[in-house]
Every structure is written in C-alpha cells, then in structure tokens.
Amino acid sequence: DVDASGTAFPVEVLRSMDTCALQGWFAWPVAPNPGGTMQLYYAPGARRVLRSPADPGDGAYTAHVGFNDWQLGAPVNVELHLAVQRGSVTWYTCDMPVPTDDNIYNLSFVVRDADGTYDNNGGYNFDIRMRPS
C-alpha cells in the first residue's frame, strides 16, 4: 500500500493498520522519543463516533494534541490527511513533532470532525506513552 504521494508505508505500519483496525487508532513509532517525530493514525469509520465527510479528503479531521496530560505547553491542532484505504478501513494520519523535554511522559489527543464533533475515546482521550530521553 502507498500513500497519496506514492510513498510505500513501512511493513510495521501496515501491520498496525491491520491489528488496530477495530480500535481505529495507533501511533508510530509505538513509543516515540522526545525531540523526534511520530505519526498519529486514525480511522473514523472504525471508531463510529465522527461523521464521515462528503469529501473524504484533507481537512475532514483535526487532532487536538497535548503532552503530559495536557499540562506541558499549549495544546496544538494538527490536520489529519487521508493516508490509505486498507481493506474496508480508511486511515487518516498526521506527523506530530514531539517536544524535547526530559520530563515528557505521554501524548494525549482527541479528534474533531468538520462539524465540530469530538471523539475523545469515551472521555479517556487517546494516550500514548513516551520513551524517556
């Protein structure tokens, strides 16, 4: 499978798409390093919380991202772009720079659709443990 630019996805990402299809989200790498970059992947159809847009292209979903349970710095909004259709699951993704901070321990995010509806994982956010620097 390739993304819209024709770049092939790493095998590990494709495996994660398959194993995480029911939960509808994952991050790559699984435990990112502070100062690095990670990719957030989100499958709105699998989550069944947000409406599918009439145009499934870019701009349909935005991730609202914060660190250390929303306490480290100001949260940021990152637009998700269409990544790939894998089987019956449509995946969206974004690149997320991870701050350089010795005390960073998690990334939390929620996803908003163009109508302003949020998927906050049933009130628990989507949380990713960070690798210590």
Measuring CA to CA, which residue among 112, 98, 95 is closest to residue 31?
A: 98
Distance CA 79, CA 94 (A): 7
Q: If you average pLDDT over every residue of the chain, what do you get? A: 86
- Give the pLDDT confidence score for residue 71 in this predicted structure: 92
Burial code of 12-29, b = ≥16 C-beta within 10 A, e = fewer?
A: ebeebbeebbeebbbbbb
- Give the pLDDT confidence score for residue 30 in this predicted structure: 81
Distance CA 50, CA 66 (A): 20
Q: Which is higher by pLDDT, 56 or 72? A: 72
Residue appearing with tokens 């509808």: 24
- Give the pLDDT confidence score for residue 56 in this predicted structure: 62
Measuring CA to CA, which residue among 84, 67, 69, 72 is closest to residue 32?
A: 67
DSSP state of 99: P
User: Per-residue pLDDT tens for 77-116?
Assistant: 999 998 888 888 889 999 998 888 778 888 999 999 988 8
User: Per-residue pLDDT tens for 113-133?
Assistant: 988 899 999 999 999 988 765
Q: What average pLDDT does the segment 22-40 reach?
A: 87
